[in-house]
Amino acid sequence: METKRHPVNLKQYRKVSGKWQFVPVARDAKGAPDPRLVVIDGEPTSSKGGTFYLEFKHHGRRRQESIGTVPREALEAWRTKCAVLSGLIEPAEEPEEVVSGLTIEQAIEKYLIEVQATKGVKTYRQYRNELEWFRKHSKKRYVSQLSRSDAMALFVQGRKELVDGRPLNQKTINRRVIIMLHAMRSQGAVIIMNKGDWPKTIEKKVEMYQPEELKPFLAACDPEERLIFQVFLCTGFREREVLSLRSWSITAR
């Protein structure tokens, strides 16, 4: 039996193998979507963990509309949109472009709760600061409004800013954009970056202390300082790793 073609496509935006992408919603024998399931690599999979989107044409232009994460509500939204586009019901009286859903402030708050629950204090503070910077410079209110152009605008803004009279390092700017993308995508934003979008960074040469430099440096330290710096030197550990060490097996020499 031939399946019926519908004027509206229902799909889901979710993470697949570590990458955010759209996947099709499963369909029944009549061609209607069943949002309880999505199709990944040809296999039906539970739709839990993603945001549903309607895809349709409006005045000849392709449009996408976020409709949340609940399968039942997604199916109802799909049916309503099909009926409107088929002329069976009148569209609700509303502005040309109605934006709703999760606000950026709400998305940041939800994301930071997840970070605070799973990451260390230092990571949480860094993410909070970077997302506050993003919110300060974003001209959008809702997550569903965000697109690639907002990420590109952050690259431009980062290059304009000065810290202590010096421009921001490109690595710092890229890190801020990465954190924004991860946070907003996790809350349903569809932001697809192109291959050449990321500005190149210049790797700084790591300056290594020579033995003749270390000897007078360690001699100038008190016993506690000397022990700490020797741990850094001999282990290659970072600050947090050193802070996690137990001191019962370490003795100063």
In the prediction, which pLDDT does 118 show?
92
> Among 123-127, 184-188, 205-209, which stretch is predicted with the lowest mean pLDDT?
205-209
- Between the alpha carbon of residue 14 and those of residues 20, 26, 210, the distances in Å are 5, 15, 50
Q: pLDDT tens digit string along 221-233?
A: 999 998 888 888 8
Segment 218-223 shows an average pLDDT of 90
pTM passes above 0.75: no
- What's the pLDDT tens digit per position in 177-189? 999 999 999 988 8
Angle of helix 170-186 relative to helix 104-118, nearest 10 degrees, comes to 100
Percent of the chain predicted with pLDDT > 90: 43
Higher pLDDT, 112 or 68: 112
Give the span between the Cα atoms of 57 and 6, in whole angstroms: 12
The region of weakest confidence among 67-76, 197-206, 214-223 is 197-206
Give the Cα separation of 124 and 112 in Å (integer): 7
The confidence score (pLDDT) of residue 104 equals: 93
Q: Which two tokens stand for residue 120?
A: 């260390």
Give strand pairing partners of 13. Answer: 22, 51
